[in-house]
Structure 1
Amino acid sequence: MITGKNYIGSQLKAGGNITLKTFNPLLNTENPWVFTEATHEEIEEAVALASQAFDSYKRCSGIEKAAFLNTIADEILALGDLLLVQYCSESGFSKGRAEGERGRMIGQLRSFAEMLIEGSWVQATIDTAIPERQPAPKEDLRKMLVPLGPVVVFGSSNFPFAFSTAGGDTASALAAGCPVIVKSHSMHIGTGEMVASAIIKAAQKTNMPEGVFSNLAGAGRTLGASLVQHPLVKAVGFTGSISGGRALCDLAAKRPEPIPVFAEMGSVNPVVLLPEALKQNSQKWALAYAGSITLGAGQFCTNPGLLLAVKGAALNEFAEQLAKAIEKTTPSCMLHASMQADFETGIFTMASQNGVSKVAQFTGEVPPNHGRPTVLKVSGEEFLKNKVLSHEVFGPFSILVECNDEAELLQIINTLDGQLTGTIIGEENELHEHQDVIFALQNRVGRLIFNGVPTGVEVCPSMLHGGPYPASSDSRFTAVGTHAVYRWVRPLSYQNWPDDLLPAELQNENPLQIVRTTDHKLTLSKI
């Protein structure tokens, strides 16, 4: 089922001479398939097709787009275990992880389909005319959200399903009415091609326009830069490193017509451990955080990479229990040999800083490409002196910071970069006693968690997966949940427009029966 070619719309093409292979980190060997990098001509063709497709796709009804998304889900499921085997061979993850992530990908697609059928996401707003108003008549004004145009999506390394070819960025952009061009991640191009084949079949079955979806392969940054700089591309979705995301943001900003880049980038997801909670439940929280730190070989963007607490006996007990749990945790395979090497380099760099000591590290035999779970420790004073200690180490790693007092804890929180999540572990009475800590953390994060772990991102409208820079490039938006659709739309007002030429969402009769804001009131009523 793997051709090694690029989907330019529904056509498979491989006109270039640059090839690449994927890697099986569990077997520590290259996979057999050969993939051909998209050429400049194929990029041009894919973008031109997407631009042409936008003219008709933006006019598709919510019902039509919902059918497309549901059919994508059906076609992905029809690939069966072959897709799961491909996923595992390019990621090192287990079949159970593959099944779980496929379920999330399917769930996202169906959630956006439900949103489209319900219809109120377009935020239809109507202010009816008052021609007799004095001293000047009031015009009839109606507003709703409309799609931006072709969107480029960069697949992520750590979620070959949920944040890649048919992941949240693609699903939300298609729901918005935007054609999508995916730049497949080089670590799982075969998985991407199989998922792309399902999207193409779904597009054909539901009579979507040619070019509504394309899938391009390539290593390095040349392909990505070409896509971001193309004048017909109107927005970008990215999940990855700070350096990669920032490079795309800079390229997009320098265009003659700047475009938005919605990039999810680095995060160490600080956890504040309050003393009473540690005193009452140190073993419980140590076990929970050992599991969170090592989940999926620590390759989650919400991995808890920074533990903050005021020094004392309760913290010492927590550190001892955490060490025992970490040292007993069997290492997991990382996504690629290069990632495991970067992980080892990151640990070495952190451990070499002044004042850093080891809390725990797995000491047994470790197979190739497996990450050795590690927790280090440093004082709050040394942490404040050294910006390196606040950097992300991608993998099963965390650093415990012992603060002298709450004032130092607050100082540390206030100097942190933006984060996806921030967690407070405490007794309920401690929340009232540490309001300054809570408000300080709130200023730095997109999701504030109480007595839980940051790993595990629920896909629902209330989820905010984003945060202040560099957690994301625009903290007003989420990359997870149905509200992710708002990245790919803009508001458009119609003034004094004939009713029968208005979009159905804004017509007097409200034929779609959606909730609208009419003359300042939320209503289902017609005008």
Structure 2
Amino acid sequence: MSYTPHGKHLIAGEWVGARESFASAPAHGPGRAFAVGEAAHADQAMRAAEEAFWTYGWSARAERAAFLRAIADQIEARGADITAIGTQETGLPAARLEGERARTTGQLRLFADHIEKGDYLDRRHDPALPDRQPAPRPDLRLMQRPIGPVAVFGASNFPLAFSTAGGDTAAALAAGCPVVVKGHPAHPGTAEIVADAILAAIRERGVHPGVFSLIQSPDHKLGVALAQHPLVKAVAFTGSLAAGRALYDLCAARPEPIPFYGELGSVNPMFLLPAAMAARGAQIAQGWAGSLTLGAGQFCTNPGLAIVMAEQADALAEAALAALREAEPQTMLTEGIAQAFERGRARVAAARGVRALLAQRCGPREARPQLFMVAGRDWLDDAVLHEEVFGPLGVIVAARDADEMLRIAHALEGQLTATLHMDEADAPLARRLAPVLERKAGRLLANGYPTGVEVCDAMVHGGPWPASTNFGATSVGTLSIRRFLRPVCWQNMPEQLLPEDLRG
């Protein structure tokens, strides 16, 4: 490994130390010391971001696209070192990190292509009607404009694609917004080397250095300082419901409230309809087991709930158990996440009417699959069973009949995804469920598994609360750029004062 993390913050083009440090806790390999970010660091970074906005926010789309592509190139140039540091810190296998790195660079290049096309600007023009009666109409032009500095919180479970140069950062930079990232303490070295790649791109393209800063910290104080800073105009966050709710409340309670785009929690229910189960129940169960255990279940789209007719529940359980028993223990991202998984497992196991089908002991930083079953009426009566458990834990909900299955759908909180496993004979029941699930989730699937989020124009990765804090937004796909834009109207404005993209 040719890159050794030095443990400093990147603020406005300079590597900056701090009075205190914290030690990383890698899955294997040496721990390292990293500077602890303070309110003063947040202030320095935000002031630099505001200064950068006066040039970067008015830069040409082609210039920003070239900058995004330069970041992607610089990340790829550090590929081997990123993988080495990332595997040490997270315990994720090299193949997973290499795939995630490709997704990260792909997102950056996708946004470069997207802004070059210009469709995202949503340009509109109503020409003047000076002779209209009873009153003339002025010349009106509309276009989307960047909002200003954005704070991005790195995610624990995606050290690349949802962190330093991940989707939130890519979307904000594409929009024309400088970014200040709070690195996640689960993988600070990975955050640092990616920040180093961004710095190289800044220097290569001659971009104002305040356009990007990375500040590290193991506690919530830095996050509070960023969310409350008067210059930040939006916050993007991926993480737990508790932390997300606290930040959401902070953003709303500011003297100037700002949008908080939080992607929080989801159980991603799957409805296994009778004809599909009769025809291919074992295959569905095996696919569910694979999706449930992928990446130690540490995906926000992990399908933790399978709703099935009671007479088919035992067959589903038997087939799922056969697959889950074969799963090897997996390293979790942090000991804290492993402890939270154990608390979640105990909470589910203690709920009324729950039957443990597979309850396995886990090590201090490992996860083994867990499987439970509960009757539909008991699930409906206990909100504890509606909560996400972050890890490879599945609950089979045995519905008495189609009406109870529909009541379960109505009782769901907001979700990132909802899935229907169905055959043609299931269409009548599916037609009853689909309108309900449409109101509950941001993405609806048929005969698939929700793990794996395609980065493209049509993707929605968000949903009603508590899946996310803004049901009109997505954190994946090109539509996510809209979070960092606002519409501006120019009335009777001389052409020389119009933005370049509105002239002519």
| TM-score, length basis structure 2 | 0.97
RMSD: 1.2
SS of alignment partner, residue 245 of structure 2? helix
Residue 523 of structure 1 corresponds to none
Residue 101 of structure 2 corresponds to 102
Amino acid at match of 2:419: T
Residue 517 of structure 1 corresponds to none
**Does the Cα contact within 8 Å between 1:183 and 1:217 map onto a contact in 2?**
yes
Amino acid at match of 2:477: G
Cα distance in structure 2, aligned partners of 1:335 and 1:445: 27
Instruction: Tell me which of 3, 9, 14 is aligned to 2:12.
Output: 9
Residue 24 of structure 2 corresponds to 22
Gapped runs of 5+ residues in structure 1? 509-527
**Does the Cα contact within 8 Å between 1:286 and 1:322 map onto a contact in 2?**
yes
Q: How far off its partner does 1:40 sit?
A: 2.5
Residue 298 of structure 2 corresponds to 299
Question: Does 2:391 correspond to 1:395?
Answer: yes
Residue 482 of structure 2 corresponds to 486
Runs of 4 or more above 6 Å deviation: none
Residue 272 of structure 2 corresponds to 273
Cα distance in structure 2, aligned partners of 1:10 and 1:507: 34
Larger displacement relative to structure 2 (35-44 or 51-60):
35-44
Q: Deviations over 1:199-250 (max 9, x none)?
A: 1110111111120000000111100000100000100000000111111110
Q: How far off its partner does 1:445 sit?
A: 0.5
Residue 513 of structure 1 corresponds to none
**Does the Cα contact within 8 Å between 2:141 and 2:502 map onto a contact in 1?**
yes
Q: Deviations over 1:442-488 (max 9, x none)?
A: 11110000000010000001000000001000010110011110000
Amino acid at match of 1:490: R
**Does the Cα contact within 8 Å between 1:236 and 1:262 map onto a contact in 2?**
yes
Question: Does 2:453 correspond to 1:463?
Answer: no
Q: Deviations over 1:98-119 (max 9, x none)?
A: 1000000000000000011111
Instruction: Tell me which of 326, 343, 359 is aligned to 2:324.
Output: 326
Amino acid at match of 1:349: R
**Does the Cα contact within 8 Å between 2:402 and 2:429 map onto a contact in 1?**
no
Cα distance in structure 2, aligned partners of 1:107 and 1:84: 17
SS of alignment partner, residue 198 of structure 1? helix
Larger displacement relative to structure 2 (314-323 or 81-90):
314-323
Pairing 1:75-474 to 2, within 5 Å after superposition = 75-312=74-311, 314-361=312-359, 368-474=364-470
Larger displacement relative to structure 2 (408-417 or 284-293):
408-417
Q: How far off its partner does 1:197 sit?
A: 0.7
Amino acid at match of 2:328: T
Cα distance in structure 1, aligned partners of 2:36 and 2:45: 14
Cα distance in structure 2, aligned partners of 1:227 and 1:105: 24
Between the aligned residues of both structures, percent identity stands at: 44
Amino acid at match of 1:222: K
| TM-score, length basis structure 1 | 0.93
SS of alignment partner, residue 395 of structure 1? coil
Question: Does 2:38 correspond to 1:35?
Answer: no
Cα distance in structure 1, aligned partners of 2:377 and 2:38: 52
Cα distance in structure 2, aligned partners of 1:371 and 1:329: 10
Cα distance in structure 1, aligned partners of 2:22 and 2:195: 18
Q: Deviations over 1:487-517 (max 9, x none)?
A: 0010000001112321122112xxxxxxxxx
Q: Deviations over 1:425-446 (max 9, x none)?
A: 0103312343221211111110
Aligned residues: 501
Amino acid at match of 1:20: F
Q: How far off its partner does 1:315 sit?
A: 3.0
Amino acid at match of 1:488: F
Q: How far off its partner does 1:262 sit?
A: 0.3
Amino acid at match of 2:476: V
Q: How far off its partner does 1:367 sit?
A: 5.7
Gapped runs of 5+ residues in structure 2? none
SS of alignment partner, residue 443 of structure 1? helix
**Does the Cα contact within 8 Å between 2:422 and 2:430 map onto a contact in 1?**
no
Q: Deviations over 1:169-216 (max 9, x none)?
A: 000000000000000001111100100011111011111112000000
Amino acid at match of 1:359: L
Q: How far off its partner does 1:337 sit?
A: 1.5
Q: How far off its partner does 1:361 sit?
A: 4.4
Q: Deviations over 1:307-326 (max 9, x none)?
A: 111211x3322221111111
SS of alignment partner, residue 325 of structure 2? helix
**Does the Cα contact within 8 Å between 1:5 and 1:12 map onto a contact in 2?**
yes
**Does the Cα contact within 8 Å between 1:16 and 1:39 map onto a contact in 2?**
no
Cα distance in structure 1, aligned partners of 2:86 and 2:63: 30
